[in-house]
Amino acid sequence: MKIQFVFKLTIASLAILVTSCKNTSKMVSNNVSKQSQSIVQPNILFIVLDDMGYGDPQCYNPESLIPTPNIDRLAKQGIRFTDAHAPASICGPSRYGFLTGRYPWRRGPRGHENGDKFEDVSIEEGRLTLASLLQKNGYNTAQMGKWGLNQKYSAAVKTGMKPGTKDAYDFPNKKLLGPELFGFRYTWTDTHLYPKIGHDTIEGMDPISDCKLVFENGLPLNLNLEPDNPYVILPNSANKVMEYLEVYSGRKENPNFHQDKNKPFFIYWDSVGPHAPYVPLKQFQGKSKVGRYGDYVVEIDDFIGKMLDKLEELKLADNTLVIFTSDNGPDKYTYKRVEDFQHYSMGKWRGVKRDALEGSNRTPFIVRWPGYAKANSVNNTAFCLTDLIATFADLVGDTIPKNAGEDSFSILPLFKSTPIEYKRPPIVYHNTRRKMAIRVEDWVYIDAPSGIVEEEPDWFKKERHIVDDDQKVALFNLAEDPQQTKNVALKYPEKVKEFKQKLDELIQKGNSH
């Protein structure tokens, strides 16, 4: 098992903790620390928002102007982590990282990018993912939402055609697969098929960005291949999660879900929002003080509340591990929201989506696990979302093979009420220009003059007292300067040398172990 940490619980006592779960649940037999143990496997609801900033939920930022009562409720019922980091500061690479446990830039020269719209799926064939790991260990697996890692376009087109035009595809004779190739038994996925001005294009958006179609298990729901209304994609995906729960509990039937009710479930709801375009339903418009973006967050929060209520109603809550997070920091329109509404989606941090600063990759992360996670608690341990695959392997008593989870370390003990001392190896950051950085304890070293991609407005730099410099690299101490306002590389040349060497080692080695 790929774990490198110091903790006060032994593996044997951890197994005992898991075995002693009070919840009614599905049981399987696995090997834990060379012993065959009967492990209680919880259901898992994994909620990942798209471009939500650390400063948007009120439980992370009391000055947030967006009401988030249900995210706040989740935090009160579980553990709120303050130092969790996305594997990348942009959607696709981040999702690759937390689904595979491998830094996305390890894929090659373009690993830090989203890739072109109609390139084939960006996870390597046969690579272990959260879903394939859990499916192998007896879980029903379902994905509803964005996916964001492209599809196998080349296998869905007519002979001699290339993807990207409406008439290129051969549905229903062929399927457009993506998450299905990596362990998800049921999928409800919105994706791109061809460029077309959509329903709600906003300034700065690519014409294709709001032109999406929904596919269920690889086939389009709209047989005419016209774009779906962007206002209903998010609500429909959330409602599909709740339908899945109702079918699982026996209230409804839907053979498309391919459920085995004698097995636990893993639901991955990767919301399309609050990524632009901001498309709140009418009943949520005006509910925040941050315009359409804030109203969209209010809508998402409402659906999260409905999911939590559904778990309670169906008596599934006590045996369901709920994890809430975001794929990266807030988008570049954050600065405009500061100007217009005095709302800081990045919170107190510096940086936005695409950058390599705290605001671009530090993300909300909440765990609710009745009977294990201490309610209304806070954990300040630093970790990366790549750590989830090793954590889930620990949860089910499995091991990660050497060719998987290269940058993953189990944080399962952090989900427990018993205090532990945890020390993770350094976390590697990068931006969308492949400028690399490393986090070592309270230090952040950037192997470039800056981690910035989205230019900061002068008024913002003045407001935050950011000091410009002409140094070739950047070094910040988060304990003394959490907003990364002053580069101290010249003051600590020995740290620069140490961290540069460590960063190079982690890049060249091919893994973090």
User: Could you read off the pLDDT of 389-408 as tens digits, one per residue?
Assistant: 999 999 999 999 999 999 99
Q: Please report the pLDDT score of residue 207 as a whole number.
A: 52
Phi-psi region of 307 (alpha: psi -120 to 50; beta: other; left: phi over 0): alpha
Read off the pLDDT band of 199 (50, 70, 90). Answer: low
SS3 category, 349: coil
Helix (H) or strand (E) holding 142: strand 140-145
Q: Please report the pLDDT score of residue 9 as a whole number.
A: 35
Kindly tell me if the per-residue pLDDT of 295 is higher than 70: yes
Kindly tell me if the per-residue pLDDT of 468 is higher than 90: yes
Kindly tell me if the per-residue pLDDT of 17 is higher than 90: no
Question: CB neighbours of 182 closer than 8 A, spacing ≥ 6?
Answer: 99, 123, 127, 129, 131, 132
Partners of residue 317 on adjacent β-strands: none
User: pLDDT for 318-364, tens place per residue?
Assistant: 999 999 999 999 999 999 999 999 999 999 999 999 999 999 999 99
Q: In order of start, what are the domains of the chain with their CATH numbers?
A: 43-420 (3.40.720.10), 430-509 (3.30.1120.10)
User: pLDDT for 433-450, tens place per residue?
Assistant: 999 999 999 999 999 999
Read off the pLDDT band of 292 (50, 70, 90). Answer: very high
- CA separation for the pair 459, 364 (Å, rounded): 27
Q: Please report the pLDDT score of residue 12 as a whole number.
A: 36
The encoded tokens of residue 83 equal 């130092």
- CA separation for the pair 70, 311 (Å, rounded): 14
In this predicted model, which residue has the larger pLDDT, 18 or 294?
294
Report the sign of the C-alpha dihedral through residues 107, 433, 485, 505, in that order. Answer: positive
pTM of the model: 0.92
**Is the CB of residue 129 less than 8 Å from the CB of residue 404?**
no
Mean pLDDT of the chain: 90
Which residue blocks in 363-451 are alpha helix, DSSP H? 388-396
Q: Taking the CA of residue 259 as centre, how many other CA atoms within 13 Å lie in the half-sphere pointing to its CB? A: 20
% of the chain exceeding 90 in pLDDT: 83
The Cβ of residue 205 has, within 10 Å, a number of other Cβ atoms equal to 14
Nearest to 186 by CA among 250, 121, 269: 269
Kindly tell me if the per-residue pLDDT of 480 is higher than 90: yes
Kindly tell me if the per-residue pLDDT of 5 is higher than 80: no
Kindly tell me if the per-residue pLDDT of 2 is higher than 80: no
Q: Please report the pLDDT score of residue 15 as a whole number.
A: 39
Kindly tell me if the per-residue pLDDT of 56 is higher than 50: yes
Q: Please report the pLDDT score of residue 488 as a whole number.
A: 98
Q: Please report the pLDDT score of residue 419 as a whole number.
A: 67
- CA separation for the pair 473, 455 (Å, rounded): 18
Kindly tell me if the per-residue pLDDT of 105 is higher than 90: yes
Which segments of 318-371 are extended strands (E)?
320-326, 362-368
At residue 413, what are phi and psi to the nearest 5 degrees? -60, -25
Read off the pLDDT band of 229 (50, 70, 90). Answer: confident
**Sheet with 427-430: strands ordered across:** 427-430, 436-440, 443-446, 474-477
- CA separation for the pair 374, 76 (Å, rounded): 9
Average pLDDT over residues 117-142: 96
